[in-house]
């Protein structure tokens, strides 16, 4: 069972909820009156959660994105410090594939991207965020909202009927690179990898044994190894490699 979460304070969430109402979707839609990064869904009887919300950024590029929630460091936007949400790498990959396909077919002028794990709320069941932005014009864009709504619909249906071939995707964590995962986007889209939590370069100082184990343990599927954005590890490269070696975690460079 899926629950789609929106916020009455989130104009993009309002737009997406309106677009969902035009589809024959049978999932529960829960609307919170708080900021979505502070939404409390702990009492809801659901196996999976999809948070539909606005994307904010300093850059002006039109963006449709998916990412996992959680905080590698301090909880500046909801959730709890150094706590990651439960995740399904298969669900994330399906959402990213569907978002790319539906956005391309609709010919909306948006960049489709993964984002590194960030912000709240803290959820103990698999979940992900799907967002559109970065400004009010995009939050109220009915065409973009329709793309997101259709992506949610298709993602749920496809995940429920996941194929044997898809079940064989290689599940990995992503470490390094920028927030918009420029090195991981193509891999997630074109190769047989399914990414769970991603720790970007700017949060690598917070990556330690505890956080790495947490990312693995809170992934629904078995995490087989780590993908390293080799050029995006910066001055943390040697420390990250030592950490992976000490924990006997297999890694591949990308």
In this predicted structure, the answer to whether residue 22 has a pLDDT above a threshold of 90 is yes
In this predicted structure, the answer to whether residue 96 has a pLDDT above a threshold of 90 is yes
Which has more confidence, 190 or 60? 190
Strand (E) or helix (H) holding 51 = strand 48-54
Task: Report the pLDDT value the prediction gives residue 139, as an integer from 0 to 100.
Answer: 98
Q: How high is the mean pLDDT of the chain?
A: 97
pLDDT above 90 coverage of the chain, percent: 96
Task: Report the pLDDT value the prediction gives residue 24, as an integer from 0 to 100.
Answer: 86
Beta-ladder partners of 7: 32
Going by pLDDT thresholds of 50, 70 and 90, the confidence category of residue 25 is confident
Q: What is the pLDDT of residues 234-244, one digit of tens each?
A: 999 999 999 99
Q: What is the pLDDT of residues 174-215, one digit of tens each?
A: 999 999 999 999 999 999 999 999 999 999 999 999 999 999
Q: Could you identify the residue written with the tokens 């024959």?
A: 24
CA atoms within 13 A on the CB side of 56: 7
Q: What is the pLDDT of residues 157-167, one digit of tens each?
A: 999 999 999 99
pLDDT (average), residues 91-104: 98
pLDDT (average), residues 16-28: 94
Task: Report the pLDDT value the prediction gives residue 224, as an integer from 0 to 100.
Answer: 95
Domains recognised in the chain with CATH numbers: 2-160 (3.40.630.50), 169-253 (3.40.50.10700)
Q: Is the pTM of this model over 0.95?
A: yes
Q: What is the pLDDT of residues 147-159, one digit of tens each?
A: 999 999 999 999 9
In this predicted structure, the answer to whether residue 59 has a pLDDT above a threshold of 90 is no
Task: Report the pLDDT value the prediction gives residue 244, as an integer from 0 to 100.
Answer: 98
Task: Report the pLDDT value the prediction gives residue 177, as an integer from 0 to 100.
Answer: 98
In this predicted structure, the answer to whether residue 60 has a pLDDT above a threshold of 90 is no
Task: Report the pLDDT value the prediction gives residue 51, as an integer from 0 to 100.
Answer: 98
d(CA 204, CA 181): 14
Going by pLDDT thresholds of 50, 70 and 90, the confidence category of residue 245 is very high
What DSSP line would sit under 63-101, residue for residue? EEEEE--B-SS--SSSS-TT-BPPB-HHHHHHHHHHHHH
Residue 181, token pair as written in the block: 């995962």
Residue 116, token pair as written in the block: 């590194």
Going by pLDDT thresholds of 50, 70 and 90, the confidence category of residue 58 is confident
In this predicted structure, the answer to whether residue 99 has a pLDDT above a threshold of 90 is yes
Contact 67, 149 (CB under 8 A): no
Strand duo 127-133 + 225-228: pairing:
unpaired
């Amino acid at each position: 069972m899926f629950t789609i979460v929106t916020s009455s304070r989130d104009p993009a969430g309002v737009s997406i909820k309106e677009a969902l109402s035009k589809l024959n979707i049978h999932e529960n839609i829960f609307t919170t009156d708080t900021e979505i990064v502070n939404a409390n869904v702990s009492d809801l009887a659901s196996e999976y959660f999809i948070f539909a919300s606005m994307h904010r950024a300093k850059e002006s590029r039109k963006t449709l994105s998916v990412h996992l929630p959680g905080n590698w460091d301090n909880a500046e936007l909801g959730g709890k410090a150094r706590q990651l949400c439960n995740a399904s790498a298969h669900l994330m990959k399906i959402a990213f594939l569907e978002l790319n396909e539906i956005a391309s077919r609709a010919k909306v002028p948006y960049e489709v991207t993964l984002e590194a794990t960030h912000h709240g709320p803290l959820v103990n069941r698999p979940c992900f965020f799907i967002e559109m932005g970065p400004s009010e014009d995009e939050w109220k864009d009915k065409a973009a909202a329709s793309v997101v709504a259709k992506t949610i619909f298709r993602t749920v249906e496809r995940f429920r009927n996941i194929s044997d071939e898809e079940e064989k995707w290689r599940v990995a964590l992503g470490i390094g690179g920028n927030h918009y995962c420029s090195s991981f986007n193509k891999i997630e889209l074109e190769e047989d990898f399914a990414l769970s939590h991603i720790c970007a370069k700017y949060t690598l100082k917070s990556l330690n044994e505890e956080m790495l184990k947490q990312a693995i343990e809170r992934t629904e599927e078995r995490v087989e190894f780590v993908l390293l954005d080799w050029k995006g590890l910066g001055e943390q490269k040697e420390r990250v490699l030592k950490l992976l070696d000490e924990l006997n975690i297999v890694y591949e460079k990308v």
